[in-house]
Amino acid sequence: MKQNDYTIRLETPADYRETERVVREAFWNVYRPGCLEHYVLHTYRTRPDFVPELDFVMEQDGRIIGQVMYVRTCIHADDGRDIPIMTMGPICILPDWQRQGYGKALLDYSMERARAMGAAALCFEGNIDFYGKSGFVVASTRGIHYYAEPRDAEVPYFLLKELEAGCLDGISGVYQTPDGYFVDEDEAARFDAQFPAKEKLHLPGQLV
Ligand SMILES: CC(C)(COP(=O)(O)OP(=O)(O)OC[C@H]1O[C@@H](n2cnc3c(N)ncnc32)[C@H](O)[C@@H]1OP(=O)(O)O)[C@@H](O)C(=O)NCCC(=O)NCCS
């Protein structure tokens, strides 16, 4: 990545199909044979918890090379409160542009914009090797637990970052992945059929 050889801007309706294609290219066969993330983005845009002000694409020479989206959610605190936070994702960079700093640049820019909008903290599932470079920690070390795992488990893929320092001090609780991330796989397959055919492969390291 050369300094400033990219632009980050809000996604517009004219971008939708191309952004979905970029997401499909980036996620294809990474976490499962094929992927669902382009359909997640497609369906999320019309949900009330979607944050249009944080729906960004990254462009280089007029071509979309990456995207990120955010969702409003909350931590169910042990004291009975729901602490408003955001979650993030999908985020992606096209394969030929990966590991050159673009993903971190997009993540850091979008998090600064989320902080400016008043988001106190972010939680999501991800790889600490990437997100750790932007200040994320394993959430259970801060008393925030993942709904799908036992409370005493250290869940290495469930991550947290305070955007407002100290906002979660003294708070423990549980995070539940928002419903919009659980798409119907048959509907996703019908949506995917609108794109050029791609081979689904079982590869080492996939989660499903
Ligand atoms: C994950 C993704 C967004 C990262 O974007 P990227 O442009 O490739 O990442 P960057 O080059 O900005 O990497 C930033 C740092 O994280 C590290 N990193 C990035 N991806 C990593 C990975 N898969 N494993 C380990 N470390 C990784 C890099 O080494 C880099 O560290 P360095 O600055 O010390 O070298 C991108 O690879 C991608 O789209 N992957 C497929 C989709 C995906 O997995 N999205 C995230 C779902 S949670």
pLDDT tens for each residue of 42-82: 999 999 999 999 999 999 999 999 999 999 999 999 999 99
Boundaries of every domain in the chain: 7-177
3-state secondary structure of 111: helix
If you take atom 39 of ligand 1, which residue's CA is the nearest one? 92
| Rounded distance from Cα 144 to ligand 1 centre (Å) | 24
- For 134, which DSSP code? G
**Pair type for strands 121-125 and 158-162:** antiparallel
Residue nearest to atom 16 of ligand 1 (CA): 130
What is the radius of gyration, based on Cα positions, of the chain? 17
Residue nearest to atom 12 of ligand 1 (CA): 101
Ligand 1 center to 74 CA (angstroms)? 26
Superfamily holding 7-177: Gcn5-related N-acetyltransferase (GNAT) (3.40.630.30)
Pocket residues: Cβ below 6 A from ligand 1: 26-27, 30, 89, 91-93, 98-104, 126-127, 129-130, 133
What is residue 149's predicted lDDT score, i.e. its pLDDT?
96
SS3 at position 206? coil
What pTM value is reported for the model? Answer: 0.97
Those residues with Cβ within 8 angstroms of residue 148's Cβ, 6 or more apart along the chain or in another chain: 177
Long-range CB pairs of 97-105 (<8 Å, 24+ gap) are: 97/60, 97/65, 97/66, 98/26, 100/1, 101/1, 102/1, 102/6, 102/58, 102/65, 102/66, 103/66, 103/130, 104/130, 104/133, 104/134, 105/1, 105/6, 105/8, 105/58
- The reported pLDDT for the residue numbered 144 is 97
Phi, psi of 120 (to 5 degrees): -85, -35
* 180 neighbors 44 (Cβ within 8 angstroms): yes
| Residue numbers of the chain with a pLDDT score lower than 50 | none
